[in-house]
Structure 1
Amino acid sequence: MCKYRTALPQLADRLFLMDGGLETTLVFHEGIDLPFFAAADQLKDAAGTERLRRYYDRYARLAAEASLGFVLDSPNWRSNPDWGEKMGLSRAELEDINRRGVALMEEVRARHEHENAPMVVSGVVGPRGDGYRTDGAMSAAEARDYHGWQVGIYATTGADMVAAYTLNYVEEAIGIVQAAQHAGLPVAISFTLETDGRLPSGQTLKDAIFQTDAATGSAPAYYLINCAHPNHFAHVLEPAEDWTGRLRGLRANASRRSHAELDAAPDLDAGDPVELGQLYRGLRARLPQFTILGGCCGTDHRHVEQIRFACTGVAAAA
């Protein structure tokens, strides 16, 4: 059941948490061989689904015990037709995996949500290609038609919204927003940034937000930044500029490594959870509209615990 599709509670001025780096947790902490770095592969059987259930339960408890909101992003970042084909899935099997991802989020919500801890179910969309490279870029119309298939599935589930992560060029973002508009779903757009604070396409974050809003009538509910370390982008965020007010979410990497270095790295750089929490606190001091907070590559529950502590003063339970 979609509880919040017509009024997303994270748009109010209260703190919402998100999970950390799902894929890096599965690969490096749990030793799972994820085909094509696709966490949705775990939804194919009961053991994998239980592994995901435990993962999300841990984060949902972090929010619930502190009476904070939580956004349950489904594990479907690589559940579009191109990645499904690489995984050997038929279109029907891929549709089922998208539905299972949302259903699992609804199940976690039913266990942990309470009056002071609203939990939003978000159907996740990822880039058609590699999140770090812009080769094979689509026009906005092509992106709308391509991603419309997955977004349309979410519209028939209990998902409250769609969230698109690790987008590296603006036309794909515009197409996803248009697909969500057609499906009647609220949508959040998250761009990834290089070490210079620009999109991998070379465009500034400011221009990417302006262009997306101009092409869609400012349809995105909000924007996020993900898969970059705060040191890579803090310098481009100017509190006095109107466009930064469109940014409400942050899923940063634990590592200061560039995308190229992360792609080639055989190990996990988990950084320093305490330091990351303090960096989030510093960003929120300058930009208090950052109220939807989680992690990306290299982060796990320790980082989100420290983010929670740094931003609320609520320490982790023993």
Structure 2
Amino acid sequence: MSGDGAAQGAAPEAVPAAVTAQDAAAIAHTAGVDERHAAFRNAPDGAPPIDGVALARLYGEPLFRMPTDLYIPPDALEVFLETFEGPLDLLLYLIRRQNFNIFDIPLAQVTRQYLDYVDQIRQHNLELASEYLLMAAMLIEIKSRMLLPPKPTADGAEPEDPRAELVRRLLEYEQMKLAAAQLDALPVIGRDFLRAQVTMEQSNVTVFPDVSLADLREAWADILKRAKLNQHHHISREQLSVREYMTKMLRRLQGVRYVEFQELFETATSPTVMVVTFIAMLELSRERLLEVTQAEAFAPIYVRLAYTPLQ
């Protein structure tokens, strides 16, 4: 047993089968660094190590030993693996990372994890932890309200879940966060691409095209052809008198009992004459010289002279 143990102690440590080649290389590199550091510690003051590799360089000079008076601030080697933009961001991260249903949040488990993170940041930044403490107090309050029996409502409806307001805020924050990520993914000039600028030298001398005699002849023939296609429409003003047509209408209605409305416009030679005839009829009706009658709806309209009783 002792012989086997000594043999096992003398043999180099074997790499487990589950370790990949990359991990084995990292282990070997770490072992080599440890050996060099041991050589640095065992070497006399100012003497270079066996392999001649400096530990660091200070102002271009090789440094073979760690300085004894080197001061490293406590926060110099601090590494933050996760950074959050606020309490809602941390709470949403805890929920999404563990695939919790956002509409049924296990507050006890989430609050415990939330407080663990708050305890870590309280050791370094108490002012930053105040915002997270406020959210932690809200989580505890919601959990306590869930443990108490719900208060009955006046209309007898089911009381609202104490987590409803928190869920609404988380969903709105997640939508804004996704929208901000989509906007940030859009290409931005100066960050994702640069605007190309090309300088072109242009000559100040204007070069006109050459025009031949045949081109001028064809252009003139085209102008003459288009001129023949142009037609002019002359509009003349027709002089019509409303008083004259009023007199004509009175003469036509004399000696007859009535005239149908459409017959008054049969002799009109143009739309203008029809309009003037209609205006003349309206003027005579306004002066109570004509009567326009109709027996019933949609029946023919008749025009006759107004009856003037004798005095």
Bin the TM-score by the shorter chain. Answer: under 0.3
What is the TM-score when the length of structure 1 is the normalising length? 0.19
What is the TM-score when the length of structure 2 is the normalising length? 0.19
Task: Select the structure with the greater relative contact order (CA < 8 A; seq sep ≥ 6).
Answer: 1
Larger Rg: 2
